[in-house]
Structure 1
Amino acid sequence: MDKFTVEEINLMCVFEGQERKGMIADIKNVIPHIQDSDMVELAGQVLGKLEAMSDAEFAEVALEAAE
């Protein structure tokens, strides 16, 4: 599995505290409301990686926003 980029981790931090499946559902719900095409693309990349990984792999991802 590809590692997450800094931008992807930062996006995921918005949904921090959730299980992988909950984060997937919330990102899918938010995408139609995103006005920026780059952010829509980023959200799609995150979804692809989240859907391809297991819950155990997700638990090992460090969700700390980079500045």
Structure 2
Amino acid sequence: MDKFTVEEINLMCVFEGQDRKSMIADIKNVIPRIQDSDMVELARQVLGKLEVMSDEEFAEVALEVAE
């Protein structure tokens, strides 16, 4: 599984505190309202990685905002 980029982690931090499946659902619900094409692509990249990883792998991801 590919590691997450800083940008992907920062996007995931918006949904922090959720389990993997809830995060997937929330990102899918938000995508239609995102007006920036780069952000839509970033959200889709995150979804792709979240969908192929296990809950155990997700639990090991450090969700800390990077500046």
TM-score interval, smaller chain: over 0.9
2:2 equivalent to 1:2? yes
TM-score by length of 1: 1.00
**In 2, Cα distance between equivalents of 1:52 and 1:66:** 24
**In 1, Cα distance between equivalents of 2:63 and 2:51:** 17
Helix, strand or coil for the counterpart of 1:41?
Answer: helix
**In 1, Cα distance between equivalents of 2:28 and 2:50:** 12
2:53 equivalent to 1:53? yes
TM-score by length of 2: 1.00
Aligned residue pairs total: 67
**In 1, Cα distance between equivalents of 2:4 and 2:41:** 14
Stretches of 4+ moved more than 3 A in 1?
Answer: none
- Structure 2, unaligned stretches of length 5 or more? none
Percent sequence identity over aligned pairs: 90
Amino acid at match of 1:36: D
Q: CA RMSD in A?
A: 0.2
